[in-house]
Amino acid sequence: MSTSIASTSDLQHQQERIFAALDGFRIEVPSWGFANTGTRFGKFVQAGAATSIAEKFADAGEVNRLTGAAPTVALHVLWDLPNGTADVETIRGLEAEYGVKAGSINPNLFQSQEYKFGSIANPDAGVRKAALDHLLESVEIGKALGSRDVSLWIADGSNYPGSQSIRRRIEWMEEVLKATHDAMNETQRMLVEYKPFEPAFYHTDIADWGMALHLARVAGPRAKVLVDTGHHYQGTNIEQIVAWLLHTESLGGFHFNDRKYADDDLTLGSIDPYQLFRIFHEIVSTPGETTDNIAYMIDQSHNLKGKMEAMVQSVVTAQELFARAALVDQEALTALQDECRLVEAEELFRSAFWTDVRPMLRAWRKARSLPVEPLQELRTSGYVERISAERGARNQASGGSYA
C-alpha cells in the first residue's frame, strides 16, 4: 500500500520535473538540413527537399508546428542571404509568414575560391580583409534581424607539414575576430566552433576547444565556444569539455548530431544516445545554469532519410534525452558521490537514462495543445507528399544543391 502511494508521488514528481524541463527547452533547426545534401562523392536528390529560402522557412515552420520546440532557424549567409543585408527584408517576410524566426547567422568562409589557402588565417592580408568584410556584414545581418548569435566555423588549415606557419596564423585570426567582436552590439554574441580535421587534413587553425576558448577570450567578452558533437576525435570525453566550458562561463552553444566515424552529421542520439544524455546532464546539474545562455542547435544533413521526418525525429529525440537528464536527482547523486558510493551513484544516473519518458512527453504535448505524436502527425498531415509534388520537378532538374 505505502509503496504504491510512494510511487504515485514519485511519478508526479517526475512529471513535474519533465514538464518544467520541456517548457524551457528550445532547439534550433538548420536551414541547410532541409536542402539536398550529399557526400563528396555525390548527392541524392529528394523530391521534397527545399531549394529556396522560402521553402526552408516553410519546412522549419512545419517542424515547429509539430513539436512546439523549434522556433528558430539557423541561416547560412551565402546559401540563404546571397545578397547579404539586402536580403534581410525577404527574411523578415518569411518570419512573419511561417511563424519561425531567424536564429544564428552563419558566415560562410569556406566556399569561395579566394579562401583556398585560408580565410581569416590566410597569409594574404587582402584575403583576410575580404573575410573580415564578410564577417562584418554577417554582424550587420544579425543586428537587422535581431538575431543573437553570429556563429563562426573557420575551415582554415593546411594539408602538409611546413607548408604554413601555424603560429603566425594564430595572430591573424586574433586580429580579425577581435575586429568582428568590436562591431557587435551589446545583445549579440560570437560563437567560435572548432573542428580537428576536414577540409584540412594536416592542421586546422581552430582544432579544439582550447584554441576556440583562447580566440573567444581574445575577441571579447561576448565571444563563446560552440561545441559541435561531431567535431572530436573518437573517444574524446565531450561532456568533460562541456563541464569545463560551463565552469569557465564560456559555453555558447551546440551543434548536435551523431556519428560513427568522423563528422558524419547523423541524427542526434542515433548512435550513442547515452553521450547526449551525459552532455545534457552536465548542463542541468550546473547550479544556476539556464538554457537561455546556451544555444541548442541541430547541425545535420540527412542524405538518405526524408528531411522532414529526420528533423522532427531529431527534435523529439533531443527532448527525450533532455527530459531524461532532468530526471537525475541531483541532491541524492551529490550525496552518493561525496560518500564515494560508486555503484549506487552510477545506478542512480543510469536509471534516469533508462527511464522511458515517452508517456510523459505525450502528456506534456497534450497539456500544451501540441500534436501528441509529432512524427505520426507529419505522416497523416500529407505535408511531405504535398512538398514532394510541388518541388519534385525542380529538384530533379537542379541535381541538388546546398543553397
Give the binding site for ligand LRH (CB under 6 A): 32, 106, 153, 193, 195, 228, 255, 263, 299
Q: What is the rounded distance in angstroms from the CA atom of residue 79 to the CA atom of residue 116? A: 19
What track of x and - describes contact with Mn ion for positions 248 through 267 (by CB under 5 A)? -------x-------x----
- Residue 403 near residue 82, CB atoms below 8 Å: yes
CA 332 to CA 337: how far, in whole Å?
Answer: 9
Q: Of 43 and 255, which CB lies nearer to Mn ion in the complex structure?
A: 255
Three-state DSSP at 90 gives: helix
Is 80 near Mn ion (CB under 5 A)? no
* Binding flag, residue 95, Mn ion (CB under 5 A): no
Shortest Å distance, C-beta 193 to ligand LRH: 5
228 lies in the binding site for Mn ion (CB under 5 A):
yes
Place of cell 591573424: 172
Measured over the CA atoms of residue 206, residue 209, residue 211 and residue 217, the dihedral's sign is positive
- Minimum distance between the CB of residue 299 and ligand LRH, rounded to whole angstroms? 5
- Beta carbon of residue 255, minimum distance to ligand LRH (angstroms, whole number): 5
Do the Cβ atoms of 94 and 60 come closer than 8 Å?
A: no
Exposed/middle/buried for residue 324 (C-beta within 10 Å: 0-12, 13-18, 19+): buried
The residue type of 279 is I
106 binds, among ligand LRH, Mn ion, none (CB under 5 to 8 A by kind): ligand LRH
> Do residues 22 and 315 lie in contact, with contact meaning Cβ atoms separated by under 8 Å?
no
Rounded to a whole number of angstroms, the minimum distance from the CB of residue 194 to ligand LRH is 10
* 164 Cβ contact partners less than 8 Å away, ≥ 6 residues apart: 117, 118, 123, 158, 203
User: Taking CB within 5 to 8 Å according to partner kind, which of ligand LRH, Mn ion, none is near residue 181?
Assistant: none
The site partner of 43 among ligand LRH, Mn ion, none (C-beta below 5 to 8 Å per kind) is none
CA angle in degrees (0–180, nearest 5) for 304-310-312? 165
Torsion of CA 203, 204, 207, 213, to 10 degrees: 120
Using the rule CB under 5 A, is 28 a contact of Mn ion?
no
Residue 294 beta carbon to ligand LRH: minimum distance, rounded to whole angstroms: 16
Nearest distance in Å: CB 12, ligand LRH:
41
Residue showing the smallest CB distance to ligand LRH in the complex: 153
Asked whether position 320 contacts Mn ion by CB under 5 A, the answer is no
Q: Quick one: 14 or 31, whose CB is closer to ligand LRH?
A: 31
Report in angstroms how near the CB of residue 195 gets to Mn ion at its nearest.
6
**SS3 sequence of 266-296:** ECCCCCCHHHHHHHHHHHHCCCCCCHHHCEE
Q: Is 299 in the site for Mn ion (CB under 5 A)?
A: yes
Q: Which stretch binds Mn ion (CB under 5 A): 83-91, 162-170, 297-305, 338-346?
A: 297-305
Residues in contact with Mn ion by the rule CB under 5 A: 228, 255, 263, 299
